[in-house]
């Protein structure tokens, strides 16, 4: 496999600005203009805060809804979750819900030194790719076809957070990796056994809750019920640009061509393997006519 040089949009925290503003914000997030903005956003943390990190479209919104209900005992909705469990873009909000006055703060960024204790949620890059494509196409962020999108996704050009593999590896190789201060969770494990996995997460957060509360929070925030909440939310604009999608596991099978898989795994294969995801194209060369992508 070719050696790839490891290298941000805040899609887990949807808002309701006009479409043209969203497109402008999305464009700026992929330029150097975001560097000082990201630095500014990372100034107001407390030592008691814990982060929920994830690359976009990796299940962080679903996880935050369930954790909100577990931690507060209240029904989760887009407005209440965003205000209580903020992302790094909106720290003027945020209510202490953790022991000793800590906040649970979402981030899509690669690991940063400000993240002293965190949960990092990982989803198979190939499912992330499909979910991201459906989302950005619905909002008009990406004008080309799917073949071109696969190339741009592999290179980390479809949002401001860089390539999936670089984001994942930045956490797996971070100073807090292999310490009690980082919990790595696969989205697929959450979907397979949410009650058990959210119990482990609350233990990591040092929050003791009744197992029945966790079971109820999972039931109240199924993907179908979250879609209902999205449809009813005044925050979410009407139209086809839906944020909550299928949350599929291995939905990429049968939807990506062999050459598309080759390209994704050329870039992301090492990170996929480290996370225990099967590779379909081990040691093959990429040769699709349109994929003139340079590995560095």
Please state, in angstroms and rounded to a whole number, the distance separating the CA atoms of residues 112 and 167.
11
The Cα-based distances of 156 to 6, 50, 82, 86, 94 in angstroms read 10, 26, 26, 25, 30
**Whole-number pLDDT of residue 273:** 97
CA angle, corner 22, sides to 16 and 27, nearest 5? 160
Length of the chain: 296
| Cα four-point dihedral sign 23, 159, 183, 225 | positive
DSSP label at 89?
G
More confident residue, 91 or 264: 264
* pLDDT level of residue 30 (50, 70, 90 thresholds): low
The H or E element that residue 66 is part of is: helix 60-72
- Res. 279: pLDDT tops 70: yes
For the chain, domain boundaries? 19-274
The Cα-based distances of 12 to 108, 175, 294 in angstroms read 8, 25, 30
Please state, in angstroms and rounded to a whole number, the distance separating the CA atoms of residues 281 and 285.
9
Match 């071109």 to its residue by tokens: 148
- What are the tens digits of pLDDT across the range 125-150? 999 999 999 888 888 878 889 999 99
Note the CATH number of domain 19-274: 3.40.50.300
- What are the tens digits of pLDDT across the range 58-84? 999 999 999 999 999 999 988 899 889
The H or E element that residue 123 is part of is: none
DSSP label at 109?
S
- Res. 20: pLDDT tops 50: yes
Structure tokens at 117: 């204790």
Average pLDDT, integer, range 17-40: 58
Structure tokens at 192: 């397979």
Please state, in angstroms and rounded to a whole number, the distance separating the CA atoms of residues 16 and 234.
8
* pLDDT level of residue 38 (50, 70, 90 thresholds): confident
**Whole-number pLDDT of residue 143:** 84
CA 176 distance to own-chain centroid? 19
Please state, in angstroms and rounded to a whole number, the distance separating the CA atoms of residues 287 and 289.
6
Map residue 253 onto helix, strand or coil: coil
**Whole-number pLDDT of residue 240:** 46
């Amino acid at each position: 496999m070719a050696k790839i040089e490891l290298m941000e949009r805040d899609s887990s925290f949807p808002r309701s600005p006009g479409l043209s503003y969203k497109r402008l914000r999305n464009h700026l997030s992929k330029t150097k203009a975001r560097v000082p903005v990201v630095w500014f956003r990372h100034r107001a943390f407390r030592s008691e805060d814990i982060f929920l990190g994830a690359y976009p479209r990796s299940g962080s919104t679903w996880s935050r809804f369930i954790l909100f209900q577990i931690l507060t005992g209240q029904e989760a909705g887009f407005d209440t979750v965003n205000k209580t469990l903020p992302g790094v873009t909106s720290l003027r909000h945020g209510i202490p819900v953790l022991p000793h006055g800590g906040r649970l703060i979402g981030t899509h960024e690669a690991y940063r030194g400000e993240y002293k204790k965190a949960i990092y949620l990982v989803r198979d890059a190939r499912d992330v790719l499909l979910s991201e494509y459906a989302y950005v196409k619905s909002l008009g962020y990406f004008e080309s076809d799917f073949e071109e999108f696969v190339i741009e996704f592999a290179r980390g050009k479809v949002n401001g957070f860089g390539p999936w593999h670089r984001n994942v590896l930045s956490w797996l190789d971070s100073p807090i990796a292999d310490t009690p201060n980082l919990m790595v969770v696969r989205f697929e494990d959450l979907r397979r056994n949410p009650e058990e996995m959210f119990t482990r997460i609350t233990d990591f957060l040092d929050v003791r809750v009744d197992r029945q509360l966790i079971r109820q929070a999972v039931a109240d925030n199924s993907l179908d019920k979250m879609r209902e909440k999205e449809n009813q939310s005044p925050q979410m604009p009407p139209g086809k640009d839906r944020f909550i999608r299928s949350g599929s596991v291995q939905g990429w099978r049968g939807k990506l061509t062999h050459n598309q898989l080759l390209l994704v795994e050329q870039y992301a294969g090492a990170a996929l393997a480290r996370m225990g995801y099967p590779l379909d194209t081990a040691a093959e060369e990429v040769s699709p006519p349109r994929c003139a992508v340079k590995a560095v």
